[in-house]
Amino acid sequence: MTIPTEPIGSIPRPLQLIEAVANGNSEDPDLGPLYEQAIRDTIERFEATGSPVITDGEQRKYHNFWTYSVHALPNTAPDGFKIPFAAGHTRRMPRLTNGPFRYKRYADGYLDVAQRYAHVPIKQAVISPSALSLMYPPEPIPGYSREQFIDDLLCEHETEVRRCLAKGAHKVQIDFTEGRLAMKIDPSGALLNSFIDLNNLALSRFSADDRRRIGVHTCPGGDLDSTHSADVDYAELLPSLFELKVGNFYIALAGEKDQVRALEIIRKHMKPDQTIFVGVIATIDPHVESAEEVRDRVLQAARYIPAGRLGTTDDCGFSPFSDDTTTSRDTAFAKIRARVQGTALAEKVLGGS
Ligand SMILES: [Zn+2]
């Protein structure tokens, strides 16, 4: 009996790197050695937790998981879509000012570096087409229609995912934090449905084999120990989420107020060919879970999700925004170690029964 366990993506950056970037340009070649050192150290410590699948901790995803691919594009302005967090702050994405839309960088570049240091499989997170679709302004851009933009966006996303798959990413995880947020912005569900449709347009370009290595991550957001949509009921999100044409779902659960209710919704709406990785680590809670706490969370989930289709993960990345210092690297790795050990304990219990 094996329960796969995978992280989501980000690990808090070393403080020295955060300071250096704050004082300069994140693309400054002089920062190269600092990034390299951060990636090497992250991978070493990640492997030391025993996690069978790791990431590069998104050490080079400046400034965050959402805009890394478009950061510093010349045809953007800083006054784009705002993500409002419960703590009162906002994070803002760039606005597209003219076409054509092209990524500035693809995430497989991060894989190239991580593979130089890693001894175990690496997964790669990429941002969803729906998140980047929010870059197109409400007023049409003269000479570059929304339809042209969507065509270009889908092509760029497809290219990025294919490059990550071709380079051997264990999984390619599409970050879809805006799914739950969409229900908060538009409780009618129309925005969420448009996001699902857009992402499925991209996903339908992949084979069934590819889709077994592709997954989607949902969470209520995690920045400065705060969320953007934890108050949105999973009953509003999960039935639509499971319409996405991917084989793997990474669902924040440990931080949910009512985990049993969430598991009941998952059981009711999951489809036969989907593997569900439930969050067993509450990433924005400073308490470090014990292996036994994690084991009990896995055993609870196993009452709702059949063996062979259950996996474990962290609720979210530990610092999706690169300057977030509310969680230390030590805490993040201690929590990951608990995920790995607790999942193994649960495997023993389930295997013996
Ligand atoms: Zn997340």
pLDDT of the chain, 353 residues: tens digit per residue: 899 999 999 999 999 999 998 888 888 888 999 999 999 999 999 999 999 999 999 999 988 999 999 999 999 999 999 999 999 999 999 999 999 999 999 999 999 999 999 999 999 999 999 999 999 999 999 999 999 999 999 999 999 999 999 999 999 999 999 999 999 999 999 999 999 999 999 999 999 999 999 999 999 999 999 999 999 999 999 999 999 999 999 999 999 999 999 999 999 999 999 999 999 999 999 999 999 999 999 999 999 999 899 999 999 999 999 999 999 999 999 999 999 999 999 999 999 85
Strand 95-96 with 76-77, pairing: antiparallel
CA of 141 to the centre of ligand 1 (A): 31
Residue with tokens 């679709």: 133
CA of 218 to the centre of ligand 1 (A): 6
Question: For 217, what's the count of Cα atoms within 13 Å in the CB-facing half-sphere?
Answer: 33
Show the CA angle centred on residue 218, arms to residues 217 and 219, nearest 5°.
Answer: 125
pTM for the complete prediction?
Answer: 0.97
CA of 241 to the centre of ligand 1 (A): 14
CA of 341 to the centre of ligand 1 (A): 22
CA of 283 to the centre of ligand 1 (A): 9
CB within 8 A of 147, min separation 6: which ones?
A: none
For the record, the structure tokens of 278 come out as 């439930």
CA of 232 to the centre of ligand 1 (A): 15
Both ends of the chain: CA-CA distance in Å?
11
State the pLDDT at residue 308.
93
Ion ligand 1: residues, CB within 5 A, are: 219, 316
Helix (H) or strand (E) holding 277, with range, is strand 275-281
CA of 30 to the centre of ligand 1 (A): 30
